[in-house]
Amino acid sequence: MKLRPVQIGTGCILKPMSLVLPGVTMMGYNRLMPCSLVLPHDQLAEHTDWQGSPARRMTVHHGSESSHLVLATRPSSLGAYTIVVDRSHDD
């Protein structure tokens, strides 16, 4: 394994047992869910949530789109929302 810099921007949250490998850039205000693995050279766009091994971008839909993998449905003051796993545009 080579030594590479890891850049973690302002407001990033790494939950328990998540792992960031060398060469990763977290642009800012990212949330890495528990037990997630971010691979070398990954660049996480600002204001995004990530989960899994390897980490995949999570998208919050407000009921207007059908989802492929629903993780949870939660009520909020704005109405119910569904958390789904979605592939990012560079897959």
The per-residue pLDDT string of the chain (91 residues; one tens digit each, 9 = 90 and over) reads: 678 999 999 999 999 999 999 999 999 999 999 999 999 999 999 999 999 999 999 876 545 454 455 556 666 666 666 555 555 444 3
Identify which of 5, 88, 90, 6 has the alpha carbon closest to the alpha carbon of residue 48.
Answer: 88
What is this structure's pTM?
A: 0.63
Give the span between the Cα atoms of 63 and 81, in whole angstroms. Answer: 6
Are the CB atoms for 27 and 46 separated by under 8 Å?
yes
